[in-house]
Amino acid sequence: MDEINELLIPENTLLAAVENDTVIGWGGILPKYNGNVFELHPLVVRIDRRNQGIGRAIVAALEDSARMQGGLTIHVAADDEKGNGETSLANVDMYDDLPGKIKSFSPGSHQSGFYIKLGYKIIGVMPDANGVGKPDIYLGKSLR
């Protein structure tokens, strides 16, 4: 049974931002591709503490951890799933000039704008991942 447990428990790293014994944000990374790549998931900052640099600090700490564990790339999957879509990749034909659409990408209010500020670039898109016209947007950054 121990071995099954070991297989079921992912080798993830979770970090929390704590203030006065209270968690105000937290995030995690999960190794993929034999540890060459780390997926950043989840990430959240308490709603009343957003836009104060806490998310940036958690991501920087997660990147350091991934790098120390031998990661070469870190990536995040950011769903554009709300309403009619927040980004310029919502409700468009992904099979028509996707490179052009990525080049002229506009995040609107979507969290991809946060990752772009932190140096992440769009490295892929999954069309209709969350329903018709609602893509999942993959953003990545080199740890090398």
Q: Is 55 in the site for ligand COA (CB under 6 A)?
A: yes
**What is the token pair recorded at 138?**
């993959």
Q: State yes or no: residue 87 binds ligand COA (CB under 6 A).
A: no
Q: Which of 12, 22, 36, 52 touches ligand COA (CB under 6 A)?
A: 52
Q: Judged by CB under 6 A, does residue 76 bind ligand COA?
A: yes
Q: Where do we find the tokens 């996707």?
A: 98
Provide DSSP, 51-94: TSSHHHHHHHHHHHHHHHTT-SEEEEEEE--STT-SSTTTTS-T
| Beta carbon of residue 109, minimum distance to ligand COA (angstroms, whole number) | 6
Please name the amino acid found at residue 35: G
61 is a site residue for ligand COA (CB under 6 A):
no
CA-to-CA separations, 79 to 31, 47, 83, 134, in angstroms, rounded:
20, 19, 12, 8
Please report how close the Cβ of residue 86 comes to ligand COA at its closest, in angstroms. 9
Q: Shortest approach of ligand COA to residue 61 CB, angstroms? A: 12
Which residues bind to ligand COA, rule: CB under 6 A?
43-45, 50-56, 76, 78, 109, 111, 113-114, 117
